[in-house]
Amino acid sequence: MLKISDLCVSYGRREELILKHINAEFDKKTLLLGPNGAGKTTLFRTICGLTVKISGKIYIDNIDLDSVFGKPGVIAANIPEIFGLLYLDCYRLLDLYMDLFDSDKDLALSIMEEFGLSEGFLKKKKPHQLSAGQRKIFHNAIALAAKARIKLFDEPFEQLDPARKNKLIECLEKEKAIIILSTHETWLIRKLLSWDVTFMFEGQLFGKLSVKELSDSYLVFEKYPGALLTVETPKVVFSIIKEPKGKPLADFMSLDYVYKLA
């Protein structure tokens, strides 16, 4: 289980908080839904140790992550910045990370192959020479193949074509680890029915619902009595409700539209 307790993050000398007193527990596969700029990637980077927190704690199975060093099998992620250890071609980079994660290189290669990146192709290209979609597949595949209790996927569907999106959904469904998948795309709530959902707006987390509850829900821009969830931030107020009123949540496609329509 991943537990986050009163986590605050700000960048450098800025006083404004990017993540504001986040408290959460993730014990099953969870969609982290939020518009661009909500702080989803910053949250992942903080969990991975790239971004410095100003207060709060992060625990995995009750172990404080601040005290974790040299422990493969705890966290894997598809965040590009964690793959910058050496400037190698994709094949060798994959070989290096699978060795460091104590994981199976052949499994990673077979996942890559399934998504259309052959071993020969990986040997010829460095990560920056891949297209945006290929780069996403490369990082997704390493995170999928790595042995870890918690896996963080930051916008894993971005730049992928529909066939590969479906294939990735199959892979994520088969995965045994606790996955936290950040995205602004609401169409996923029609696909990942067994998952939980948490919303993220302006550096704050809201609620924990099941995707099943959300799949036929509606969004109204007001505080609605008896709503499944109400999100209230300085910039936007909305409620997610069961009654057929407002706009179906899944029709938003991207949560970025919430601000446009508010």
Partner 1 sequence: MVFTKYFRYSLRQYFLNPYFIFWGIIFIYFWILMCAYVFAKGVPGDYMLYVVGSDYGQLLILGLGSASVSAAFTFYYSSFAVRFVTKFTKLNPRRFLIENFLSTILYLCVYSGIIWGLFVATFYSKFGEWYLPKDPLGLIGATILSAIFLYLFSLMLVYFVILLRAPKLSNFIGYVPLMLSFLAYAAFWVDFGIAVYISPFNLISNLTYYFYTKEKPFTGDIIGNFMKLIQNETPSYADPVLSVVALCIWILICGILSYIFVRKSRGISYEELRIL
Q: What is the DSSP letter of 177?
A: S
CA nearest neighbour of 58 among 2, 1, 11: 2
Where does residue 2 rank: exposed (0-12), middle (13-18), buried (19+ CB within 10 A)? buried
Where does residue 231 rank: exposed (0-12), middle (13-18), buried (19+ CB within 10 A)? buried
By the rule CB under 8 A, 26 interacts with partner 1: no
Sheet strand arrangement including 196-201: 75-77, 150-154, 178-183, 30-33, 196-201, 204-210
* Residue reference for tokens 């896996």: 151
Pattern 136-165, partner 1, x by CB under 8 A: ------------x-----------------
Q: Pick the stretch among 92-100, 118-126, 192-200, 230-238 that binds partner 1 (CB under 8 A).
A: 92-100
Task: State how far the Cα of 90 lies from the Cα of 218, in Å rounded to an integer.
Answer: 43
By the rule CB under 8 A, 92 interacts with partner 1: yes
Smallest distance from the beta carbon of 131 to partner 1, in angstroms?
21
Closer of 31 and 148 to partner 1 (Cβ): 148
By the rule CB under 8 A, 45 interacts with partner 1: yes
Smallest distance from the beta carbon of 26 to partner 1, in angstroms?
16
Q: Contacting partner 1 (CB under 8 A), which of 15, 69, 120, 234?
A: 69
Number of residues that bind partner 1 (CB under 8 A): 37
Query: Residues interacting with partner 1, by CB under 8 A?
Result: 9, 11-12, 42, 45, 48-52, 65, 68-72, 74-77, 81-88, 92, 95-97, 99-102, 148
